[in-house]
Amino acid sequence: MLEEKYTLNNGIEIPKLGLGTWLINGEKAKEVVKNALKLGYRHIDTAEAYGNEGEVGLGIKESGIPREEIFLTTKLVAEAKDYETAKKYIEESLNELDCDYIDLMIIHSPQPWAYVNQSDNRYELGNLEAWKALEEYYKLGKIKAIGVSNFQINDLKNIIENTEIKPAVNQILCHISNTPLELINYCKDNNILVESYSPIAHGEILNNEQIKSLANKYNVSVAQLCIKYTIQLGTVSLPKASTKEHIEENSKLDFTISDEDMEVLKNIEHIKDYGKSSIFPVYGGKI
């Protein structure tokens, strides 16, 4: 699985499986990245909002893996809704990561975090300003592909209809019990690759008896079933893991979920009270 890739709409290849690094900080983030790369991962996902770009960059450098073999993603802070602010944060990411280029940089959210799901304002003009800055760095070769995160259909239309370069990806919350098929299909129809963050639902899904039963059927863990599910949807999967054991387990996906079981998983009941637990970010999904 670690060798399998998709091709973005600009011809760049991206590994189907990546390592998410949300809530992994300091020296731990560096070691996690080094461990993942040692185990064969070649796709690392971070963000300015995670506060660990410096450590992720160090992990890449100290891994000994050539930079050109690694696909590195980071995210433009959600508050950057004007051109100059966006440019400033792009430069900060390049400096923090200490690299000559970023493989993929995406707008982290169409709304600033303080207003996520708290306002009808979708910041259309602000997102166009941020996109203009990303386009500039893309043309300079400092970013190899540009995209968005947490964008809904109308947010995507705003970018597609008013800018020069179409988003290469839309990174969204997608997992068993939360599969936004209308949004996924819209992205596919417009040649925008979907990336699934939190494919294991922040861990809340691990004790679901119906999912456990299906995982047992395939002789895999619930986490492996969840990750494979998002990949079989045709999306990139970005599970977060901090131990060598989980990082390695998450990459062992040499099985295929049947079409019938995929339909079952698409229709599993939404987790009750999902999003109210302390592990879910109250500031609107900064992951």
Burial of residue 260, with CB atoms counted within 10 A of its CB: 0-12 exposed, 13-18 middle, 19 or more buried? exposed
Would you list the DSSP string of 225-240? HHHHHHHHTT-EEE-B
For 17-26, what is the mean pLDDT? 95
User: The pTM is what?
Assistant: 0.94
Cβ atoms of 260 and 221 closer than 8 Å: no
Question: What are the boundaries of each domain within the chain?
Answer: 5-266
Q: Which two tokens stand for residue 217?
A: 């059927």
For 159-183, what is the mean pLDDT? 97
Please report the pLDDT score of residue 277 as a whole number. Answer: 38
pLDDT digits (tens, 9 = 90+) for 201-254: 988 888 899 999 999 999 999 999 999 999 999 999 999 999 999 999 999 999
Residue 276 has pLDDT above 80, yes or no: no
> What average pLDDT does the chain have?
93
Place of tokens 């999904």: 285
Please report the pLDDT score of residue 281 as a whole number. Answer: 38
Please report the pLDDT score of residue 273 as a whole number. Answer: 56
For 42-49, what is the mean pLDDT? 98
Please report the pLDDT score of residue 110 as a whole number. Answer: 98
Please report the pLDDT score of residue 270 as a whole number. Answer: 82
HEC assignment per residue over 173-213: ECECCECCHHHHHHHHHCCCEEEEECCCHHHCCCCCHHHHH
Domain 5-266 in this protein, CATH class: alpha beta
Residue 47 has pLDDT above 80, yes or no: yes
User: Rg (Cα) of the chain, in Å, rounded?
Assistant: 18
Would you list the DSSP string of the chain? -TT-EEE-TTS-EEESB-EE-TT--HHHHHHHHHHHHHTT--EEE--GGGT-HHHHHHHHHHH---GGG-EEEEEE-TT--SHHHHHHHHHHHHHHHT-S-EEEEEES-SS-GGGTTT-S---HHHHHHHHHHHHHHHHTTSEEEEEEES--HHHHHHHHHHSSS--SEEEEE-BTTB--HHHHHHHHHTT-EEEEE-TTGGGTTTT-HHHHHHHHHTTS-HHHHHHHHHHHTT-EEE-B--SHHHHHHHH-------HHHHHHHHTPPPPTTTT-STTS-TTT---
Give me the percent of the chain exceeding a pLDDT of 90.
88
Residue 286 has pLDDT above 50, yes or no: no
The residue type found at 213 is S
Please report the pLDDT score of residue 205 as a whole number. Answer: 87
For 144-168, what is the mean pLDDT? 98
Question: How would residue 272 be classed by pLDDT, with cut points 50, 70 and 90?
Answer: low
Residue 165 has pLDDT above 60, yes or no: yes
The one catalytic residue in 41, 50, 123, 137 is 50
Of 77-86, 141-150, 166-175, 267-276, the poorest mean pLDDT is in: 267-276
For 265-282, what is the mean pLDDT? 61
Please report the pLDDT score of residue 284 as a whole number. Answer: 37
Please report the pLDDT score of residue 118 as a whole number. Answer: 86
pLDDT digits (tens, 9 = 90+) for 69-96: 999 999 999 999 999 999 999 999 999 9
Report how far residue 10's alpha carbon sits from residue 1's, in angstroms, rounded to the nearest whole number. Answer: 23
Please report the pLDDT score of residue 4 as a whole number. Answer: 98
Please report the pLDDT score of residue 193 as a whole number. Answer: 98
For 134-156, what is the mean pLDDT? 98
50 counts as catalytic: yes
Q: Which two tokens stand for residue 164?
A: 């020069």
